[in-house]
Structure formats: C-alpha cells, structure tokens
C-alpha cells in the first residue's frame, strides 16, 4: 500500500542527508558526488541498518522501495541523457594519437583484468552463466565516470587544458563502450527469461540506432531554423519526452533504459546543449539522483559474513585501481605523452563514480551480480572516486 506521508518523508530525508554529506566532502577537497554516494551507503544496512535496525526498517520498508525506484529511474534516464548531450567526440581529432591509444588502453586493460578476476569471483559467489558474469565484471572495471571527471576538472580549472581535453575524450569513449557492453551483457542474461531471442535484440538495437541517427539529422535541420531564445520551454519538454521514450525503447528491446537515453543524448543537436543542461541538471542532481544513491546504498551491505570476503574486496580494489591507472598511463605514454601527464590521466580515468553505480544496479536488477559482489563493486566505485583528488595532487606535485 502506498503511504504518501512516508514517501514524502523518505525523499526529504534522502535529499537533506545527501546535501549535508556533499557539503562535508567538499570541505575536504572531494567532489560532491562522492559525498552523495557515501550518504546513500550511510542510509543503508551498512550504517543506519547496523546501528539502528528498527529505525532503518521503519524508514525504508521493502514495500515502499518500488515507488522510490520508479522516481529515481526517471531521474536516472534524464541524467544519462544529459551525459550523452555533453559528449563531444570531435575532441578526439585534436589529439587523435594520444586519445586513441590512451583511451583504448584505459578501456581494454581493465576489461581484460576484470575478465581474469571474474573466474575467481564466480567460483566464490557466482550463479548463472559464467560468461555473462565475466563480461559484466569486465565492463564494471572498464568504466570511467564522465560527469564526475568533468566536475573534478571544473573545480580545478583544468577543463580547457590539454590534459582536460584528452581526459574528457577518453572518458566519453569509455562511457560509450560501457553502454554497448552493458547492452550485450543484459541482453545475454534476458535471452532465456523472455521470448525475444538474442539475434532479435541485436537487430532491434541496430534498427533503433539507425532511427536515432535519422532523428538526429531531422533535429539538426530543425535546430538550424530556430532563432536564438525561441521555444525554450517547448524544446526542453520535447527532449525530456525523447529521453523517456528512448529509455522505454531500451527496456522494451531487452537492454537497460540508460542505453536508449544515452543514444538520445548523443543525437541531440549541440545547439540545445546549454538550455537543456541549464533547465534539467539542477533538479536532477538535487532531487532525483540522491534517490538513486540511497537505493544503491540500501542494496549495499559492506558487513560481509562469508569467510574471505574482505580479502576479495581488497583484491577487487587493487585490480581495479592498478589496471585502470596503469593501463591508461602506459597507453598515453605510448601515444607520446610525458610520464607525469600520462600518470595524471591515469588517475583521472580511475574515477568511476555514478556511471559505475548505474552499471552495477543494472547487473543487480538483471540477476547477473549476486548481492555480495554488488556490494564489493559499489565499495570499489566509491574508493576509486574518493582517491582521485588526493592522488591527482600527489602526482601533479613537482
């Protein structure tokens, strides 16, 4: 049964705790998203559920989570749509050799590391298809959080620098590859659960990509005809509808809604980038994304009971950090970047943040990730994002 008073109180509590945590973490030089991620875990069984289990159960009864999840999913679709709107692959042309080699290494070295690590994790915790599990662990290892990276560089004044351009180009490519791999992994695990065969899912994906590309051309023609400042509100409404419809199409096809939303963002005319970000980002970040972080925290329990779980957690942290940092460093160095700058790029690409949580939640909902591995990977996302700023200070110091 829906209890509106509890639902509204949950939203108020989540938003208040998230903003307080974001402020506290900003005071110690961390991006606000790290505080928001930490707030989500604090509201879950790891902290609140451990120290005040009765209060936690009363605040977040299982039957109430479906309503929070529905609202957070809508916000998530809009936010991922904005990630696609921000992506600018033209940046590759300016520094093509470094971005191609460094970006490829930043994706495929952690991907291969995750595939290797998955065999050990599957024996300990896995169920279902080991190949799907392996692909998902590899995908989670290869992710870089484009929005977190952009926020870190804005705070540090690095956005227009040579390093900033390379990092954003590599992160945008990493996100694109992550969505493709996510689509493949989710479609493979849903093949046996519904009537849609795998070949049909890929056919529909290709047709959807062609339709989005055609829609992008029509939208660009429309954008060229519009005068500056004309139909501002109507434009925002139209693209919110496009993002939600694309997300619904992604779910209908058999992949996650964020894949469709990201595709809609990519084909959106760049003329509309600023008004869309200006009108949509604030309400999404302040109100809707904290709900997603809180639900992630509720599904995350870092108090493990299985023997050797903390050893496996440390193994995941080391493998994720070393493969992403080291792979990017060596790839950028091979592309002609100096050692120090290549090391800084590796540190930046190691920030996984929100995009990692989106991928992990898709894995949990699809039944690919067992709860214990999900919790370890969430901890890895928080850890790798948390260490980015301190390591960047350390590596950048002459």
At 198 the pLDDT is 67
Residue 243's CB is within 10 A of a number of other CB atoms, namely 29
The predicted-structure confidence for 326-352, as pLDDT tens digits, reads as follows 999 999 888 888 888 899 999 999 988
For residue 291, pLDDT over 80 is answered with yes
At 183 the pLDDT is 77
**Which CA distances in Å does 229 have to 17, 126, 232, 277?**
37, 54, 6, 15
Domain assignment of residue 263, yes or no: yes
Q: What is the number of structural domains in the chain? A: 1
Domain assignment of residue 205, yes or no: yes
- The pTM (predicted TM-score) of the whole model is 0.81
Domain assignment of residue 3, yes or no: no
Domain assignment of residue 69, yes or no: no
The predicted-structure confidence for 166-215, as pLDDT tens digits, reads as follows 887 788 777 778 878 887 777 777 544 554 666 777 788 788 888 888 88
Which of 39, 34, 38 shows the shortest CA–CA distance to 13?
Answer: 39
For residue 293, pLDDT over 90 is answered with no
Domain assignment of residue 25, yes or no: no
- How many C-alpha atoms does 304 have within 13 Å on its Cβ side? 19
Where does the pLDDT of residue 7 fall: very low under 50, low under 70, confident under 90, or very high at 90 and above?
Answer: very high
> How far is residue 142's CA from residue 92's CA, in Å, rounded to a whole number?
19
- CATH number of the CATH domain containing 354: 1.20.1530.20
Domain assignment of residue 42, yes or no: no
Domain assignment of residue 365, yes or no: yes
3-state secondary structure of 52: coil
Range of the domain at 171: 75-396
Which of 286, 285, 211 shows the shortest CA–CA distance to 253?
Answer: 211
CB-CB contact of 381 with 201 (8 Å): no
Higher pLDDT, 65 or 29: 65
Lowest mean pLDDT among 146-150, 284-288, 295-299, 364-368: 146-150
CB-CB contact of 291 with 351 (8 Å): no
| Mean pLDDT of all residues belonging to the chain | 84
Domain assignment of residue 384, yes or no: yes
3-state secondary structure of 268: coil
């Amino acid at each position: 049964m829906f209890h509106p008073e509890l639902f509204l109180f949950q939203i108020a509590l989540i938003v208040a705790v998230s903003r307080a945590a974001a402020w506290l973490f900003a005071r110690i030089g961390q991006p606000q998203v790290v505080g928001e991620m930490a707030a989500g875990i604090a509201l879950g069984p790891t902290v609140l559920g451990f120290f005040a289990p009765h209060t936690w159960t009363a605040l977040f009864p299982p039957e109430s989570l479906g309503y929070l999840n529905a609202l957070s999913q809508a916000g998530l679709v809009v936010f991922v749509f904005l990630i696609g709107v921000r992506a600018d692959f033209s940046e590759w042309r300016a520094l093509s050799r470094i971005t191609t080699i460094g970006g490829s290494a930043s994706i495929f070295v952690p991907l291969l590391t995750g595939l290797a690590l998955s065999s050990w994790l599957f024996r300990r915790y896995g169920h279902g298809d080991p190949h799907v599990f392996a692909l998902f662990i590899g995908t989670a290892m290869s992710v870089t959080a484009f929005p977190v990276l952009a926020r870190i560089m804005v705070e540090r004044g690095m956005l227009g620098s040579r390093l900033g351009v390379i990092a954003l180009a590599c992160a945008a490519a990493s996100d694109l590859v992550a969505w493709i791999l996510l689509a493949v992994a989710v479609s493979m695990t849903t093949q046996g659960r519904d009537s849609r065969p795998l070949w049909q899912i890929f056919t529909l994906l290709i047709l959807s990509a062609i339709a989005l590309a055609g829609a992008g051309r029509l939208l660009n023609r429309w954008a060229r005809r519009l005068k500056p400042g004309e139909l501002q509100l109507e434009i925002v409404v139209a693209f919110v509808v496009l993002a939600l419809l694309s997300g619904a199409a992604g779910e209908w096809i058999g992949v996650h809604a964020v894949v469709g939303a990201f595709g809609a963002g990519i084909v959106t005319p760049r003329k509309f980038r600023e008004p869309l970000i200006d009108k949509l980002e604030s309400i999404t970040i302040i109100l809707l994304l904290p709900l997603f972080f809180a639900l992630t925290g509720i599904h995350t329990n870092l108090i493990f009971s299985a023997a050797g779980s903390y050893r496996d957690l440390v193994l995941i942290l080391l493998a994720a950090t070393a493969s992403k940092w080291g792979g990017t460093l060596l790839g950028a160095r091979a592309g002609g970047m100096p050692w120090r700058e290549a090391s800084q790029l590796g540190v930046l690409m190691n920030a996984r943040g929100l995009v990692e949580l989106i991928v992990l939640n898709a894995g949990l909902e699809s039944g690919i990730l067992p709860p214990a591995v999900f919790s370890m990977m969430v901890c890895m996302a928080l850890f790798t994002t948390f260490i980015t700023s301190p390591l960047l200070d350390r590596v950048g110091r002459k």
